[in-house]
Amino acid sequence: MHVAHLSLADFRSYARVEVPLDPGVTAFVGPNGQGKTNLVEAVGYLATLGSHRVASDAPLVRMGAERAVVRASVAHGDRQQLVELEINPGRANRARINRSSQVRPRDVLGIVRTVLFAPEDLSLVKGDPGERRRFLDELVTLRAPRMAGVRQDYERVLRQRNTLLKSAALARRHGGGRGADLSTLDVWDQHLARHGAELLAQRLDLVAGLEPLTDKAYEQLAPGGGPVGLEYRPSSETAGARSREELYEVLMGALEGARKQEIERGVTLVGPHRDDLLLKLGELPAKGYASHGESWSYALALRLASYELLRADGERAGGEPVLILDDVFAELDARRRDRLAELVAPGEQVLVTAAVDDDVPGALSGARFRVSDGEVDRV
Amino acid sequence: MYEGVVQDLIDELGRLPGVGPKSAQRIAFHILQADPADVRRLAHALAEVKEKVRFCGICGNVAQDEQCRVCQDPRRDPAVICVVEEPKDVVAVERTREFRGRYHVLGGAISPIEGVGPDDLRIRELLARLADGTVTELILATDPNLEGEATATYLARMVKPMGLKVTRLASGLPVGGDLEYADEVTLGRAFEGRRLLDV
């Protein structure tokens, strides 16, 4: 799929802008602070109903305006769809598909699909385990939309169970209280293990598919610098279990083993919410050992691998995603720029941003837009 | 802010479920402008519902007498009990006219976040009803959300030693709808709970 036309109203710095887009590579070039990233951020918002830069929607609306509108005409093969999102901070967003307003915003999900790489992604390598779990879970949900429900259920069981454990821990410490509360812990264990096993099975499956692709992407970006390996680090030993049923048993066993400690600490210590993805460079973990440049390449390799994986899923999964590379070239030397350009050239649609023309590799043909002071002009 | 009693009324209305501050204000002004007789009737109904309506001593459903209509009805099968969360769920099941057994209203679902544990629900009363062996099937009709499922699992584990037949309502596709309009979660559940077609 590709975005054939993007129009924004009161989005970030733009009062109004119309950007006709072609398949293939498109570069947005302009000095910092002129609004390049805002354009790709808008495309990303249509894909995820969230921004990759901020957690709340308020900064997305232009100063002084009440709401922002992102509108895109999307081409899936011969089919054209018009998607519109009205962003109302503090209130529910509104969506329209092909001018019909009988849709919920979440119905928009899946029409625009993106893989976005931005400077913030460095935290995939250097940041907390939570960053890597979110990376995995977002990809899992993109490949199997049903998993959004599983993730929600899991989060909710976890909150229920933690509340129960916390009140039990409090009662123990201060004496008295209602010890009988713990009679329901077995029930929450079962539900935690069931949803947890489903999420875990999907993550393991994803990591297995992602590893060779990440290694390949890293080798292309930094020849001879690898190999890279992805190792899923569960909070409890899974002993080679892969299926939902096996993982359910693993989690139930681990919960039983951790119960005493969980009651003492008043928090759930077992489950996918405590897991991590170990990113290895050679034999060492990338976090703490890799240089800034290596970490950068690693994060980029993870995104490129996601892109390849979704492309390989093909039409079944909703068509080829749009690859967005925000401000990626400035950090790479000339040789790596050219390699990256080669790598992404065959994509159905690739949107890149760069501060100066020289940053954009010569090998990257395609359309070029100059972004300056809220104006977007094709060169 | 309005003055005195008007604001009091708005505040009280705003505490009702599903009524936000704007709706509360609208209802309050509707009452102010309404015919005094209508308002008195409403006030009377409110006072009376609290005075007259009781909860059935057996199943916990709302009742006018000691027992509710279902528990008083000798034609209802005493061997089957359908467990629901709220009295309004009884009404929902009754509307189907498919169920000829009796009910048990728990008064909610297990939810540590809301401070509701098994002791806060009418579970002890349910176990007491099961003790004499009249009941042979327990239908768990708690809500198909996380707390409802957890409550159902808890009950199933509690009554397991009694050797009853314990069933759970199926979840899946709405009847008369189109498959394409079902959300992924519902459709996924329906796939999981698919059954053999006997022909």
Closest CA to A37 of A26, A53, A19: A53
Predicted local distance difference test score (pLDDT) of residue A203:
94
Q: How far apart are the C-alpha atoms of A319 and A164, rounded to whole Å?
A: 44
> pLDDT tens digit string along B52-81?
888 898 999 988 888 888 999 999 999 999
Q: Which two tokens stand for residue A130?
A: 């939570």
Break chain A into its structural domains and give their ranges.
1-113+356-379, 123-317
Measured between CA atoms, the residue of chain B closest to residue A152 is B146
**3 state SS of A232:** strand
CB A284 within 8 A of CB A228: no
What tokens appear for A377 in the block?
Answer: 């002009």
Contact A376, A19 (CB under 8 A): yes
Q: Do B157 and A186 touch (CB under 8 A)?
A: yes
Q: What count of CB pairs under 8 Å joins A to B?
A: 53
Q: Helix B146-159 crosses helix A185-221 at what angle (to 10 degrees)?
A: 130
Fold assignment, A1-113+356-379: Rossmann fold (3.40.50)
Are B113 and A159 within 8 A, CB to CB? yes
Give the number of residues written for chain A: 379
Rounded to the nearest 5°, which phi and psi values hold at A274?
A: -110, 5
Give CA–CA dist A317/B87, Å, rounded: 44
pLDDT of residue A372: 87
Identify the three-state secondary structure at position A170: helix
Sign of CA dihedral A250, A254, A257, A260: negative
Q: Is the dihedral of CA B69, B71, B76, B82 positive or negative?
A: positive
Q: Do A180 and B118 touch (CB under 8 A)?
A: yes
CA dihedral A69, A75, A76, A82 (to 10 degrees): 40
Structure tokens, B161: 């030693």
Q: From CA A371, how far away is CA A97, in angstroms rounded? A: 28
Both tokens assigned to B90:
């009884």
Q: Put residue A271 in one of left, alpha, beta given phi > 0 → left and psi -120 to 50 → alpha.
A: left
User: Which has more pLDDT, B177 or B160?
Assistant: B160
Distance CA A58, CA A198 (A): 34
Does the pLDDT of residue B103 top 90, yes or no?
Answer: yes
Distance of CA B145 to the CA centre of its chain: 13
Q: Give the angle A48-A87-A318 at the CA atoms, nearest 5°.
A: 30
Omega before B144 within 30 of 0, i.e. cis: no
Answer yes or no: is pLDDT of B184 > 60: yes
Contact across the interface for B118 and A157, Cβ inside 8 Å: no
Predicted complex ipTM: 0.71
Q: Is A31 annotated as a binding residue?
A: yes
Which residues touch B196 (CB under 8 Å, ≥6 apart)? none
Grouped pLDDT means (10 residues each) for chain A, 379 residues: 92 91 90 88 89 87 91 89 90 87 81 90 92 92 82 91 86 62 85 93 93 92 86 85 87 89 88 92 86 89 93 75 90 83 87 87 83 85
Q: Give the list of residues 6+ apart from residue A95 with CB closer than 8 angstroms, or none.
A: A83, A84, A85, A86, A101, A103, A104, A105, A107, A108
Beta bridge partner(s), residue B137: B80, B165
Closest-CA residue of A relative to B185 is: A146
Other CB atoms within 10 Å distance of the CB of residue A129: 15
Tally the C-alpha atoms within 13 A of residue A198's C-alpha that lie toward its C-beta.
19
Residue closest to B122 by CA, chosen among B109, B138, B134, B111: B109
- In the sheet that holds A68-76, the strands lie side by side as A14-20, A2-11, A68-76, A79-87, A94-97, A100-103
Contact A115, A213 (CB under 8 A): no
Under 8 Å between Cβ of A5 and A72: yes
Please give the class, per CATH, of domain A123-317. mainly alpha
Residue A35 is assigned to a ligand binding site: yes
Decide if pLDDT at B173 tops 90.
no
Query: Is the peptide bond preceding residue A227 cis, with omega within 30 degrees of 0?
Result: yes
Distance between B153 CA and the closest CA of chain A, angstroms: 6
Answer whether residue B116 shows pLDDT above 70: yes
- Enter the tokens of residue A40: 């790709």
pLDDT of B3 > 80? The answer is no
CB of B3 within 8 Å of a chain A CB? The answer is: no
Which of B119, B146, B185 is the closest to A157 by Cβ?
A: B146
Q: What domains, with CATH codes, occur in chain B?
A: 4-52 (1.10.8.420), 75-168 (3.40.1360.10), 171-199 (no CATH)
Maximum Cα–Cα distance for chain B, whole Å? 71
Nearest C-alpha neighbor of B67 from the set B124, B121, B99, B105: B105
pLDDT tens digits for B11-59? 999 898 888 888 999 999 999 898 989 999 999 998 888 888 888 989 9
Residue A231 has which token pair? 């190792």
What mean pLDDT value characterizes chain B? 89
Six-digit token string for B120: 């806060």
The pairs formed by A310-318 with CB atoms below 8 angstroms and a separation of 24 or more are A310/A113, A310/A115, A310/A142, A310/A143, A311/A347, A313/A143, A317/A142, A317/A143, A318/A1, A318/A110, A318/A113
pLDDT average, residue stretch B130-150: 91
In sequence order, which residues have a C-beta less than 8 Å from that of residue B29 and are 6 or more positions away?
Answer: none
> Does B112 contact A178 at a Cβ distance shorter than 8 Å?
no
